[in-house]
């Protein structure tokens, strides 16, 4: 084998190895991106409120909801005149 043939064989082997590595990297990136896309909804969480201002706002909102619930008049459960007939 001449030096040129030896050099060409090494170059060809390097190109095949590089192409194989690039293909594996592309497949891995596509798989990782797909998995991240699928798990996007599963891993999304609303952070809990730990600071005083957030807790104060949440407490005021809960109190306002309770107040509104009891402020509405109770439904009239009496018999309507139409039902009397």
Per-residue pLDDT of the chain in tens (85 residues, 90 and over written 9): 688 889 999 999 999 999 999 988 998 888 888 888 777 666 555 566 566 777 788 888 888 888 887 776 766 667 666 665 5
- If phi over 0 gives left and psi between -120 and 50 gives alpha, with beta otherwise, what is residue 77? alpha
Q: CA-to-CA distance for 82 and 56, rounded, in angstroms?
A: 49
53 in any annotated domain: no
- Indicate the number of domains in the chain: 1
Q: Which domain holds residue 33?
A: 1-41
Residue pair 49/58 in contact by the 8 Å Cβ criterion: yes
25 in any annotated domain: yes
CA distances from 17 to 4, 12, 14, 22, 47 (A): 20, 9, 5, 9, 46
Residue pair 8/16 in contact by the 8 Å Cβ criterion: no
50 in any annotated domain: no
For position 12, what pLDDT does the model report?
Answer: 92
């Amino acid at each position: 084998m001449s030096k040129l043939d030896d050099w060409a064989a090494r170059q060809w082997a390097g190109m095949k190895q590089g192409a194989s590595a690039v293909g594996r990297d592309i497949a891995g990136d596509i798989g990782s991106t797909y998995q991240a896309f699928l798990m996007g909804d599963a891993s999304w969480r609303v952070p809990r409120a730990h600071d005083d201002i957030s807790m104060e706002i949440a407490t005021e909102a809960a109190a306002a909801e309770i107040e509104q619930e009891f402020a509405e008049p109770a439904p009239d459960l009496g018999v309507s005149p139409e039902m009397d007939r």
